[in-house]
Amino acid sequence: MGSGPAGLGTAFHLNEREPNLSVLILDRSSMSTGGLRNDCKMNFTYPVGFPEEYWDRVRANKALKEVKRFLNPPILPTRNLEIYKKRSEKLGVELLAIKQSHLGTDGGIILIGELMESLKTRGIETSLGEEMVDIEERKHLIVTNKREIGYKKLVLAPGRQGFNFLQSMMSKLGVSYIDNVIDVGIRIETREQYYPIVRDYYDPKFLFPDKVRTFCTNSGRAYVVKERYKGSTGRDYYSVNGHAFSGNVEAPGEKNGLVNFALLKRVRFTEPLASGNEYAEMLGQMAMVMGGSRPIMQRVGDFRLGKRSKIDQFNGDLYDFEPSLRDCTPGDISLAIPAKVLRGIWKSLKLLDTIIPGVMHPSTIMYYPEIKRYANKPSFIDDYFQAKQDMYLIGDGAGTSRGITAAWASGIRAARGILNER
């Protein structure tokens, strides 16, 4: 279940090794609603995207070779990295140099079309708009919103949006799990001229002290978006995110000369072992309370003066660009962000401004919240992400990946497990 990169990784690998196997991919929505459809930045350097508790370099690199064959990524050039690296090191900051491809939201949709065509040619069945709602483990069948389907092997790859569903299935089936880690932070938006490194390195990965890092940088035709998440208590919340159009194909997306990227801090709970998911929801809901059911945005200039932002400050002379996400409430992010998170992020932003002078221009916008829930960590019974006999949990929702390429790789790994058992 799930037609994201994790599910696709399993389906294609099984089909290549045993073309006669009958494979059905279900998705409640359209094909691949995660990163393949949104921005489609693909990282091909370990450990980016690979949780190190499950992946070592050798294993990840072996899988990445196969992932490349399907995704056929044009790797982006980088320039002047040594200069940025030297500046960073002096401040105790690490700049990771990685191989990356960026198809953009428009290019990603084309890639999805090609992958769908390939599934069809290979005889792999897909059923879109069909939602899985339950599992009858003893009968070896799943229940969807349309029918019951029997299975020999079941692979669940519901992505981050399916986080709650996966938790409820694990609880029902007695699969123990912990979810003690989340990333929480802000999304920065500024003019490209205030963050010109993007002309040399499309998605620069800076690692700051205190477990803060830059994440998912977009530029050129770049937009901040908001995603709705279902709260377990029935109260939904938004997390912001970002994407860009490639401009290579005829598609929407005006060149707006803006850059956006996330600054995220990792929060890991030890004792008592709190649920990262619950914590994430509460932070999200707190932001909704502050923002009148919308995310909050604040200009760096206002933040520095200890003032909230107001709507008229988004049009004036000094604040010379308009937010790409308009459906957001000007306010004071410091009222909603936990102090330790805010301290780490603000310090990192200052370090970044020393490495790339300009990013803290008063007009720069900080959007909150951006929350990543990664760590549904089931207890697996083997090395192939089998959580119960004949049931595999993979991809971002199961914490075996944190990105498109690693999600595909975790799909390959589950497929290998299935083939071994046969």
Ligand X SMILES: Cc1cc2nc3c(=O)[nH]c(=O)nc-3n(C[C@H](O)[C@H](O)[C@H](O)COP(=O)(O)OP(=O)(O)OC[C@H]3O[C@@H](n4cnc5c(N)ncnc54)[C@H](O)[C@@H]3O)c2cc1C
Choose among 283, 292, 289: nearest CA to 342: 283
Alpha helices in 356-403 (DSSP H): none
Amino acid letter for position 60? A
Q: Is 302 exposed, middle or buried (0-12, 13-18, 19+ CB in 10 A)?
A: buried
Contact in structure between 343 and 382 (CB atoms under 8 Å) = no
Contact between 29 and ligand X per CB under 6 A: yes
| CB-nearer residue toward ligand X: 111 or 157 | 157
Per-residue CA distances from 381 to 159, 205, 358 (Å): 21, 34, 50
Considering the complex, state which of residue 33 and residue 348 has its C-beta at the smaller distance from ligand X: 33
Interaction between residue 341 and ligand X (CB under 6 A)? no
Stretch of residues binding ligand X (CB under 6 A), selected from 159-167, 184-192, 255-263, 361-369:
159-167
Site membership for ligand X, residue 348 (CB under 6 A): no
Q: Using CB under 6 A, which of 6, 182, 342, 412 touches ligand X?
A: 6
Scan residues 221-250 and list those touching ligand X (CB under 6 A): 227, 241, 243
Write down the least CB distance from residue 216 to ligand X, Å.
6
Task: Output the smallest distance, CB 37 to ligand X, in A.
Answer: 8
**Per CB under 6 A, which region of 38-46, 182-190, 204-212, 271-279 contacts ligand X?**
38-46
One residue of 44, 165, 201, 384 binding ligand X per CB under 6 A: 165
Q: Are 378 and 391 in contact (CB under 8 A)?
A: no
Q: Are strands 148-150 and 141-144 parallel, antiparallel or unpaired?
A: antiparallel
344 binds ligand X (CB under 6 A): no
Q: Toward ligand X, which CB reaches closer, 38 or 214?
A: 38
Between 185 and 330, CB nearer to ligand X: 185
What are the phi and psi torsion angles at 256 (to 5°)?
A: -115, 0
> Could you say which DSSP state residue 73 is in?
-
Find out whether 252 and 183 touch, Cβ atoms under 8 Å.
no
**Which range touches ligand X (CB under 6 A), out of 16-24, 147-155, 156-164, 260-268?**
156-164
Smaller CB distance to ligand X: residue 242 or 291? 242
Which of 33, 101, 190, 214 touches ligand X (CB under 6 A)?
A: 33
The burial of 20, by beta-carbon neighbours within 10 Å (0-12 exposed, 13-18 middle, 19 or more buried), is given as exposed
- Cα separation, 5 vs 7, in Å, equals 6
Among 163, 100, 201, 118, smallest CA distance to 404 is for 100
Q: Which of 51, 107, 158, 253 binds ligand X (CB under 6 A)?
A: 158
Single-letter code of the amino acid located at 78: T
Considering the complex, state which of residue 39 and residue 179 has its C-beta at the smaller distance from ligand X: 39
Buried b (16+ CB within 10 A) or exposed e, 144-162: beeeebeeebbbbbbbbbb
Binding range to ligand X, per CB under 6 A, among 88-96, 153-161, 267-275, 302-310? 153-161
CB of 52 to ligand X, least distance (A): 16
Kindly tell me which residue out of 10, 11, 27, 189 binds ligand X, with binding defined by CB under 6 A.
27
* Only segment of 181-189, 249-257, 273-281, 393-401 that touches ligand X (CB under 6 A): 393-401
167 contributes a contact to ligand X by CB under 6 A? no
Among 397, 409, 412, 413, binds ligand X (CB under 6 A): 397
* Residue 131 engages ligand X in binding (rule: CB under 6 A): yes
Total interface residues for ligand X by CB under 6 A: 40
Nearest C-alpha neighbor of 231 from the set 285, 309, 298, 289: 285
Phi-psi region of 84 (alpha: psi -120 to 50; beta: other; left: phi over 0): alpha
Dihedral sign of CA atoms 162, 164, 165, 169 in order: positive
Query: Using CB under 6 A as the criterion, which residues of the chain lie in contact with ligand X when the complex forms?
Result: 1-7, 26-29, 32-36, 38-42, 49, 131-132, 157-162, 165, 227, 241, 243, 395-397, 403-404, 407
